[in-house]
Amino acid sequence: DAMVIQNPRYQVTQFGKPVTLSCSQTLNHNVMYWYQQKSSQAPKLLFHYYDKDFNNEADTPDNFQSRRPNTSFCFLDIRSPGLGDAAMYLCATSRARDRAYEQYFGPGTRLTVT
Amino acid sequence: GQSLEQPSEVTAVEGAIVQINCTYQTSGFYGLSWYQQHDGGAPTFLSYNALDGLEETGRFSSFLSRSDSYGYLLLQELQMKDSASYFCAGETDSWGKLQFGAGTQVVVTP
């Protein structure tokens, strides 16, 4: 089945220790998104890519960076995680920019910062 | 600023009908989506309204009124498996972004 895959599902890192979360998709969708979701809150968009065109949200901290080396893969790098970065990180895709209303989400990576 | 407002929690019994309202205030608006998220799971797409009116998909229906900046999701014949959070999400620009509401926790009781 075509899908969005995130690895790892659970990640524990230490305060200040860089961490990378990965996402892959077999849907061949042009657009990929990274969201941060804290407990009982809405998903908050961090970045999105239309193909290789990178779009950073204005309020995304500089501590967060992203890479999309090809259509299938996307990475979220947190350079120096703080306690406030503990959250669920969701990767999503959509077929095209004008189909953003229908996004396909991966299962998420739950990040714990100790 | 941009915001989408929805109730925080709704409780109903199996077999009942629940309506989740969403009012929005955004500088740009192209349409309203609804997503379901079970506890610990990923959001899944339910429906989308670009135009005014009702869209029906099985037991779930979604409505939009652009003039009132308002939409709702209607869940009929509630089942226990419908216990989840439901998010409205506004398509707020042509670049392909969604702005999510805070979510409504639906609790279905026997």
Q: What is the mean pLDDT of residues B76-82?
A: 97
Task: Copy the structure tokens of residue B106.
Answer: 């639906």
Q: What's the whole-number average pLDDT of chain A?
A: 93
pLDDT tens, position by position, B20-61 = 999 999 888 899 999 999 998 899 999 999 999 999 989 999
C-beta atoms of A90 and B42 within 8 A: yes
Query: Would an 8 Å CB–CB cutoff place B95 in contact with chain A?
Result: yes
Tell me the pairing of strands B3-5 and B97-100.
unpaired
Q: Please, what's the largest Cα pairwise distance for chain A? A: 40
C-beta atoms of A101 and B102 within 8 A: no
Q: In this predicted structure, what is the pLDDT of residue B70?
A: 96
C-beta atoms of A42 and B100 within 8 A: yes
| % of residues, chain A, pLDDT over 70 | 98
Burial of B72 (0-12, 13-18, 19+ CB in 10 A): buried
Q: In this predicted structure, what is the pLDDT of residue B1?
A: 60
For testing the chain B interface, which of A59, A95, A101, A102 should be mutated: the one with the most B CBs within 10 Å?
A101
Q: In this predicted structure, what is the pLDDT of residue B66?
A: 95
The number of beta carbons lying within 10 Å of the beta carbon of residue A94 is 23
Q: In this predicted structure, what is the pLDDT of residue A80?
A: 96
Name residues whose C-beta falls within 8 Å of residue A53's C-beta, 6 or more positions apart in sequence: none
pLDDT tens, position by position, A65-79 = 999 999 999 999 999
Q: In this predicted structure, what is the pLDDT of residue A69?
A: 94
Q: In this predicted structure, what is the pLDDT of residue B92?
A: 83
Query: Would an 8 Å CB–CB cutoff place B45 in contact with chain A?
Result: yes
Please tell me which of the candidates B42, B89, B103 has its beta carbon nearest to residue A107. Answer: B42
Q: In this predicted structure, what is the pLDDT of residue A51?
A: 87
- Closest-CA distance, B86 to chain A, in angstroms, reads 10
Residue A2 corresponds to which amino acid? A
Q: Are A106 and A7 in contact (CB under 8 A)?
A: no
pLDDT at B64 over 80: yes
In the A/B pair of chains, how many CB contacts fall below 8 A? 60
- At residue A2 the predicted structure's pLDDT band, cuts being 50, 70 and 90, is low
pLDDT at A12 over 70: yes
Residues of B in contact with A50 (CB under 8 A): 95-96
